[in-house]
Structure 1
Amino acid sequence: MDDLERELEPLANSDDDDDHSDDNSTNGEKKGKLHLVKPMVEKTQYESEFHQTTRTCLERIREAMLHHKWQEAAEYMACYTQMIEDPVKGKDQQYKELIWRLSTEILHHHPNSTMEDYNNIYERIKHLGVRHYLMISLEHSFHLLLHGQIEDAKRHLSAAESWRYGRESEKQQQKTKLIQAYRSLLDYIIWCDKKFTHSSNSYYESDDNIVMHNYFRQASVTLKDILKNPGIWDPFILSYVEMLEFYEKHEEALTLLNDYAYDNNFPPNPNAHVYLYQYLKRHGASERKLMKVLKILVQLVPSHELMLEYSSLLLQSEKRSDTQKALGVVLDMLDFACWRSNLDVWKRLQAVIQKLQQQDEWDNIVGEKMAARKDWWPALHFTSSHASKDSEENQELLEVKASLAKVLCPDRTLKYTSEQEANREQT
């Protein structure tokens, strides 16, 4: 409801956002935003009876929605639609969007709403104005998809994909590409349904193979074009890669994932490197290739769960420098509170320390890594309260951490000790 009120706030008394902000800036006193008190549409000095009626109607709708009186809100909404006949030039688009947002919000919460009601409302508001046609069509298809009506959702997106109005602007082209992308995603969903409907033995002997391949072809043609545009396309990438893998087009899939991860035209995206790593791992890539991908991921998200695998790969390496890198990777993970009580990470750190101790001056290596941490790591990991909590929840974690405490912080007097060490100190 708060999001809805923020959407409606610019309708108060201005034709556009810029005029509204200028008025506020000239006011010597800043006005507080009290959404529950401030009218959605304020009364003006010269207000026609038409505007007075519709303004009152809108206030009644808001009050009904705030108190979850959805039937009452729907009845008022049926009257408020006359606002699209407002003779004041420049207001029509605002009112059309308002009707769209309010109508779908009411239907979403109304206990007796049906799919027919949704379809009627969407079709009606879709043709109120051209500015929001594509986004309304996309929202309509989402609603159909949530109710399992995949074919209907695709039909609406296909119609929106071919929709044109006047001179095609850049914004309209971007929205059309988004429509195309989601239509392709629906082709993928239908392709998945066809794939799981038939067993692997009987599938290739049936004509459904041709039908399924047609959906793949339709989706791949559009996705290949869409993914040339810089952006975050995670669900579309995953869908396309799955289809390519099914048809054993491995080189094409790998090229796609490499471009998505390393093309500088795309914004930095940790998921792109995760998808590439997972694909390489599924297909038995060498450890060198796997580490190359994770080397970039660790720079983007040092706390990522795959860093545990990265440290394992580094630890298996025979290079002395890789063991030192593994130490840095695990310590970076433990800098984040989400890994503070994770036994696997602490055991990995223990394994790294044990391997490091086989090198000369290993304590200097550990000291260099801990130099920037010595002032705050004890408070993060090695207090008496941590020891008490770990003792109650995970005794093995307590023992592992206690064995590392003096190694990591040799110059500090720590209150984190295991029961064994406490007994030895007493004796």
Structure 2
Amino acid sequence: MDDLETEFRPPEEFGQDDSSDSNSTKETAKSKLRLVEPIFKETPRETGFHKSTRICLQRIREAMLHHRWQEAAEYMSSYPQVLEDTTGGTSQHLTEVIWRMGTEILHHHPNSKMDDYNNIYERMKHSGVKHYLMISLEHSFHLLVNGQIEDAKRQLSIAESWRYGKQSAGQSQRIKLLQAYRSLLDYVIWCDKKFTHCSSDDPDAGDNQEMHSYFRQSAVNLKEILKNPGIWDPFILSYTDMLEFYEDHEEALKVLNDYAYDNTFPPNPNAHVYLYQYLKRHDAPERKLIKVLKILHALVPSHELMLEYCSLLLQSEKEGDIQKALGVTLDMLDYACWKSNLDAWNCLKTIIHKLKLQYKWRRLEDIVSEKMAARKDWWPALHFTSFHASKDSEENPELMEVKASLTTVLCPGQVLNYTAGKTISGEWT
């Protein structure tokens, strides 16, 4: 493998061409390319130490590229010596390089042990203060996926109390993130305690008190982190799960409403999904469920909950809700993920039938025509070709029958190649 300097060299340096057009192209490319600085490049005054570490890095990268993890590990055991060099002024960057490459090698090495991970994480934490907090967070993640929850929490607690110099805004944000993840681990422990408590025929009062203690520790920081605009899905779910267990429904609903409707937060379809699921679990009125799903429809028209939205609209007593259901179902079927879904097409058939009962045929035609106006040029190609007919008749004859029955009302006056074994489109006339 070429060294790093060659890898990051601008394309124009790889060949020579004397033509003016070529030179012009090279100048344009040179002006537009934003080159990455080499990690460790050869210089006219390169010392033997610098040359050795540069070649070592090259060998590590080549071994990793070809998945020779044992060879990469052997070279990696020597490369951290580069941190002892005080002349380069890039120790922070090199710390991150060693951290990233070292953990990647350990992830793939067949004989790696937990002690190996702990050693590299601890060494990297104290080799560069800039990355201390994020390395601590990654360390805790690795402990967590290996089932060492208490150790993972201890790592985060140590990192929370770590300070270096004047606390910057970025450092403050990272500490908040650490606190949030530590609270998430408290929630995980709380879940274990809850399972034990609920499974026991004779729950111990001390266990219940301990479980509540973990709830309080977790809730404080989770509530605090949710004051910062962002996407906090796992933290929201954890916090509301605990609140729901202790039947603090007012607070849980407030948290979910704030997460969904606070304009300082980025648009997040999941926020509306969580609110809807909570309301549904607690038998909220249909109008509240419809309100939540209406916003979700605006964000993600193809969401799987749109079938439930249509069902609620069809149960509504409002006159215009059936027409809304028609629009929602057509929006779903605009997406390829729904095109072969029998439930979606049956829903559309039910809506058309209800509209036919509610209005005269001419009015029904006008309503459907209005909804299909922007679709008439491309819907036949999406749903009603001879290919679709052949595929549906073979894989799902019931789907073909439903779709064929809707062709006349959806695409009146159009010649379609989608035909079923028997024509039932006349049932709408």
Please, what TM-score do these two structures have when normalized by structure 2? 0.89
Residues in 2 aligned to 1:379 and 1:75: alpha-carbon distance in whole angstroms: 59
Q: List 4+ stretches of structure 1 deviating above 4 A.
A: none
The answer for the alignment partner of 2:118 in structure 1 is 119
The answer for the alignment partner of 1:396 in structure 2 is 398
The answer for the alignment partner of 2:173 in structure 1 is 174
Choose the corresponding residue for 2:420, options 415, 418, 421.
418
The answer for the alignment partner of 2:295 in structure 1 is 296
Residues in 2 aligned to 1:56 and 1:127: alpha-carbon distance in whole angstroms: 25
Q: The residue matched to 2:227 in structure 1 has which SS?
A: coil
Asked if the contact 1:40–1:59 (Cα under 8 Å) also holds between the matched residues in 2, the reply is no
**Deviation string for 1:347-373 (max 9, x for gaps)?**
000000001112131110000000100
Does 1:248 find its partner at 2:250?
Answer: no
Asked if the contact 2:187–2:215 (Cα under 8 Å) also holds between the matched residues in 1, the reply is yes
The answer for the alignment partner of 1:95 in structure 2 is 94
The answer for the alignment partner of 1:17 in structure 2 is none
Choose the corresponding residue for 1:366, options 368, 380, 401.
368
Does 1:318 find its partner at 2:320?
Answer: no
| Aligned residue identity for 1:131 | K
Residues in 2 aligned to 1:12 and 1:319: alpha-carbon distance in whole angstroms: 65
Residues in 1 aligned to 2:181 and 2:49: alpha-carbon distance in whole angstroms: 41
Name the CA shift for 1:40/1:27 in 2 (closer, same or farther; >3 Å): farther
Asked if the contact 2:184–2:218 (Cα under 8 Å) also holds between the matched residues in 1, the reply is yes
Give the RMSD, CA atoms, in angstroms.
2.4
Residues in 1 aligned to 2:80 and 2:321: alpha-carbon distance in whole angstroms: 68
Asked if the contact 1:12–1:41 (Cα under 8 Å) also holds between the matched residues in 2, the reply is no
Asked if the contact 1:294–1:307 (Cα under 8 Å) also holds between the matched residues in 2, the reply is yes
The answer for the alignment partner of 1:385 in structure 2 is 387
| Aligned residue identity for 2:222 | L
Deviates more, 1:310-319 or 1:239-248: 310-319
Deviation (angstroms), 1:203: 5.7
Residues in 1 aligned to 2:202 and 2:278: alpha-carbon distance in whole angstroms: 25
Deviation (angstroms), 1:84: 0.6
Residues in 1 aligned to 2:104 and 2:56: alpha-carbon distance in whole angstroms: 16
Asked if the contact 1:216–1:243 (Cα under 8 Å) also holds between the matched residues in 2, the reply is yes
1:9-408 mapped onto 2 (5 Å cutoff): 28=27, 30=29, 41-200=40-199, 202=201, 204-358=203-357, 359-360=359-360, 361-408=363-410
**Deviation string for 1:259-293 (max 9, x for gaps)?**
00001111110100000000000000000010011
Q: The residue matched to 2:129 in structure 1 has which SS?
A: coil
Can you give the 5+ residue segments of structure 2 that lack an aligned partner in the other structure?
10-24
Residues in 2 aligned to 1:274 and 1:401: alpha-carbon distance in whole angstroms: 30
Deviation (angstroms), 1:27: 7.0
The answer for the alignment partner of 2:22 in structure 1 is none
Deviation (angstroms), 1:12: 6.4
Name the CA shift for 1:72/1:291 in 2 (closer, same or farther; >3 Å): same
| Aligned residue identity for 2:225 | I
Asked if the contact 1:57–1:76 (Cα under 8 Å) also holds between the matched residues in 2, the reply is yes
The answer for the alignment partner of 1:22 in structure 2 is none
Residues in 2 aligned to 1:91 and 1:324: alpha-carbon distance in whole angstroms: 64
Asked if the contact 2:197–2:208 (Cα under 8 Å) also holds between the matched residues in 1, the reply is no
| Aligned residue identity for 1:190 | I
The answer for the alignment partner of 1:20 in structure 2 is none
| Aligned residue identity for 2:401 | E
| Aligned residue identity for 1:418 | A
Deviates more, 1:191-200 or 1:180-189: 191-200
Asked if the contact 2:259–2:265 (Cα under 8 Å) also holds between the matched residues in 1, the reply is yes
Residues in 1 aligned to 2:231 and 2:296: alpha-carbon distance in whole angstroms: 16
| Aligned residue identity for 2:104 | E
Asked if the contact 2:197–2:203 (Cα under 8 Å) also holds between the matched residues in 1, the reply is no
Deviation (angstroms), 1:49: 1.4
Q: The residue matched to 2:78 in structure 1 has which SS?
A: helix
| Aligned residue identity for 2:137 | L
Asked if the contact 1:191–1:215 (Cα under 8 Å) also holds between the matched residues in 2, the reply is yes
Q: The residue matched to 1:230 in structure 2 has which SS?
A: coil
| Aligned residue identity for 1:379 | A
Residues in 2 aligned to 1:318 and 1:260: alpha-carbon distance in whole angstroms: 30
Please, what TM-score do these two structures have when normalized by structure 1? 0.90
Residues in 2 aligned to 1:199 and 1:281: alpha-carbon distance in whole angstroms: 24
| Aligned residue identity for 1:363 | E
**Deviation string for 1:97-129 (max 9, x for gaps)?**
111111111111111110011111111111001
Asked if the contact 1:60–1:73 (Cα under 8 Å) also holds between the matched residues in 2, the reply is yes
Residues in 1 aligned to 2:177 and 2:202: alpha-carbon distance in whole angstroms: 33
Residues in 2 aligned to 1:290 and 1:310: alpha-carbon distance in whole angstroms: 8
Name the CA shift for 1:357/1:140 in 2 (closer, same or farther; >3 Å): same
Residues in 2 aligned to 1:414 and 1:103: alpha-carbon distance in whole angstroms: 61
| Aligned residue identity for 1:370 | M
Residues in 1 aligned to 2:287 and 2:263: alpha-carbon distance in whole angstroms: 23
| Aligned residue identity for 2:298 | Q
| Aligned residue identity for 2:351 | V
The answer for the alignment partner of 2:12 in structure 1 is none
Residues in 1 aligned to 2:199 and 2:258: alpha-carbon distance in whole angstroms: 32
Residues in 1 aligned to 2:202 and 2:184: alpha-carbon distance in whole angstroms: 23
| Aligned residue identity for 1:285 | A
Can you give the 5+ residue segments of structure 1 that lack an aligned partner in the other structure?
14-25
Q: The residue matched to 1:59 in structure 2 has which SS?
A: helix
Deviation (angstroms), 1:379: 0.1
Residues in 1 aligned to 2:144 and 2:323: alpha-carbon distance in whole angstroms: 50
